[in-house]
Structure 1
Amino acid sequence: MKIALIAHPRFPIRSPFPGGLEAFVSSLIDFYAEHAEVTVYAHPKSDIPSHVKFVTFPFDTLSHEKYPDLIENDFLLKVMEDILKNDFDVIHNNAISPIPAVWSCKYDIPLLTTLHTPPYSRLKASAELTSLSPNVHYNAVSFSVAEQWQPYISDTIDVIYNGIDLSDWYGPRTVKEQLFSFGRIVPSKGFDLAVKASAMVGIPLNIAGPIYDKSHFEKDIAPYIGKGVNYLGHLSHQELQLQLRSARCAIFAVRWDEPFGLSTVEAMASGTPVAAFNRGAFPEVVSRKGGVLASGNNVDSLANAIADSLTLHSDDVLHRAQKFPLSEMCNRYIAKLVEIA
């Protein structure tokens, strides 16, 4: 079987990953290569294993800052043109774009699109139309995402939870009097809320992640650095693991309905309890054993959740993380691709 694996072109598939979507695509590559002939389509700066075919096209980063849709669409049109030339059996699409699904309808290519985000306006209409095609299929990373998308898709949306290699994150805990929050630093991730909540419980907070909104960082986070808050930069997975194993709690104060929250599983797999808002997929992923969800969407409630999470036993937290193994995710995806091919 020949599989075309499409990544969203905005960021490279390269560690340290900018976000969960890039980590998700990376985790599938070797598994697909063991079971099929796979070609990866991704940003030109991606780090793809040498034994896997990698196809890319120029990506003008400066122009992308001004015209993101134009640059991404141009890239994905080139991807689909190349796919048409190479007689693939099936496409696994992870681009947040209508282009792959529309082309699949036109050329009768079996395609599975994984829904990594809540519904965007530009994707709703294309989903309604393309889901009528017998060749186009959709799955979601959580029941929360599936429920949000179902009104726009004329088919059943399967749910395949994201997974991680649990052994990569497990290790001896050397807990210190500190909290941890990590991810892309943008307003939607709520690092400023984590800063305020950690101050309320009186425990220092370490923050890690790439700064994608410099104005937000300088205005809402930088004034607190050195005053109970430390910014550690963009850490590798190994560095993240050490931080998680030494943290009393991992805080995820996102301002949107988190579609899955791969970072929460990484935290739990380290034995670190999670404190987060009760929205999106967090109730599905974290549950009661992996952490504590705030009773309201405000800093006071988040501070209470942090305090309550400190009483959880790391063994219970680890047990919750074991619900999301990478092997199960990969096996379900390859089975789905075989089914629709």
Structure 2
Amino acid sequence: MLKILILSTSVGALGSGQGGGIELTIQNVARELQSRGHQLQIVAPVGSTVAYLAVIEIAGNLHIPVQTQSRDVPVDLPDNSVLANMCAYANRVQKDWDIIINFAFDWLPFYLTPFFQRPIAHFISMGSMTVATDRIMSETIKQYPHTFGVYTKSQAASFPFGDDCEILGSAIDLSLYQFNNSPQRSLAWLGRIAPEKALEDAVAAANITKLPLKIFGKMQDTDYWQQICRDFPNAPLEYVGFLGTEDLQRELGKCRALLMTPRWLEAFGNVAIEALACGVPVIAYARGGPTEIIRDGETGFLVEPDRIEELVAAIDKIDSIDRRQCRLQAETEYSLSALGDRFEAWLDKVMKSRG
């Protein structure tokens, strides 16, 4: 059994929703590895909460989400960086642990990797974002092969070193999601409310079909949200809020379909498997991770990116999808047990590669 120290995302406290899908991944990976007898501790920003797991809360200023910046942005750390403080803590206590898993997608942990004696396994939660980060990652994986894990092949392909990444996928605790075979008329959209998620396309589709759109997720960019409301003053939309898993799965399960409209390359899309677990078909732009999750015509539809008329056409035929097949796919492909197997195999490879 391993003693594992986990470095969390540095853009928000765990449980806040600020980190998006990576928060769910961290919690699920940690819980599954702990259930297998591994000893774990999570290092995360102040205010973080994880059920049944120990969290070392680190003070400091949060980092700007990389997806809100340009590709040529210079390397920059906030004053009293929470990530720098998290890394400093990990460096001090590293002898108490066998391996460190870094979930913070930021230049700093890759740069610091050679300064640690313990091996670091880097789980990368997004596609290629900045030139500087791509460069330091390329240097790191060349020096420490097998140490990068990603969600999907589509995500890996965005990097110059993509062939050297371990494809790990994602998973959820299926026992927390109840199957619903009696949906209401409404559609769902789930995610951080930020420009790269292109919520406005889902709103436009709902406006055309006149089907109510329930919006779930963290209100990250209020100016962006207000602009959508101005652009679609009569759209049948409802912002439900950022809900915990129990409330989310209950409300999500009532919807006829989940719309995924990312403007960027979605590395995975945990929201897709959350929907499938509830029996909710997924209509998504064929861009990034969703192309490797959704079985087109069986558990949802993949449509040409940025084409609202294709979203509308898919909505019109959503009742042809058997919701039981959606749940079955989640059970078959996205269980915590399967994810735990993949992570254990990867961590074993990382340990052996460092001698």
| TM-score, with structure 1 as normaliser | 0.90
Aligned residue number for residue 281 of structure 1: 289
* CA apart distance, 1:165: 1.3
In 2, are the aligned partners of 1:8 and 1:94 still within 8 Å (CA)?
yes
Provide Cα deviations, 1:239-290, integer angstroms capped at 9, x if missing partner: 2212222111111111111110000111011111111111111111112222
Q: 1:159 aligns with which of 137, 150, 167?
A: 167
CA distance in 1, matches of 2:137, 2:38: 28
Instruction: Please tell me the residue identity of whatever aligns with 1:83.
Output: A
Does 1:339 find its partner at 2:349?
yes
- Structure 2 unmatched runs, 5+: 70-74
In 1, are the aligned partners of 2:180 and 2:279 still within 8 Å (CA)?
no
Q: 1:40 aligns with which of 39, 42, 45?
A: 42
Instruction: Please tell me the residue identity of whatever aligns with 2:289.
Output: A
Does 1:71 find its partner at 2:72?
no
* CA apart distance, 1:192: 1.0
Counting only pairs closer than 5 Å after superposition, residues 128-167 of structure 1 correspond to structure 2 as 128-134=138-144, 137-149=147-159, 151-152=160-161, 156-167=164-175
Aligned residue number for residue 57 of structure 1: 58
Aligned residue number for residue 137 of structure 2: 127
CA distance in 1, matches of 2:277, 2:104: 28
Instruction: Please tell me the residue identity of whatever aligns with 2:21.
Output: G
* CA apart distance, 1:334: 2.4
In 2, are the aligned partners of 1:92 and 1:113 still within 8 Å (CA)?
yes
| TM-score, with structure 2 as normaliser | 0.87
Instruction: Please tell me the residue identity of whatever aligns with 1:46.
Output: S
Instruction: Please tell me the residue identity of whatever aligns with 2:343.
Output: Y
Instruction: Please tell me the residue identity of whatever aligns with 2:5.
Output: A
In 2, are the aligned partners of 1:101 and 1:111 still within 8 Å (CA)?
no
CA distance in 2, matches of 1:49, 1:102: 31
In 1, are the aligned partners of 2:149 and 2:167 still within 8 Å (CA)?
yes
In 2, are the aligned partners of 1:18 and 1:210 still within 8 Å (CA)?
no
Aligned residue number for residue 72 of structure 2: none
* CA apart distance, 1:135: 6.7
- Structure 1 unmatched runs, 5+: none
Aligned residue number for residue 234 of structure 1: 242
**Aligned residue pairs: how many?**
336
Question: Cα distance 1:125–1:71, how it changes in 2: closer, same or farther (>3 A)?
Answer: same
Does 1:25 find its partner at 2:26?
yes
CA distance in 2, matches of 1:287, 1:307: 18
CA distance in 2, matches of 1:181, 1:310: 18
Question: Cα distance 1:238–1:206, how it changes in 2: closer, same or farther (>3 A)?
Answer: same
Q: 1:85 aligns with which of 82, 89, 92?
A: 92
Question: Cα distance 1:135–1:76, how it changes in 2: closer, same or farther (>3 A)?
Answer: farther
Question: Cα distance 1:142–1:181, how it changes in 2: closer, same or farther (>3 A)?
Answer: same
Question: Cα distance 1:18–1:133, how it changes in 2: closer, same or farther (>3 A)?
Answer: closer
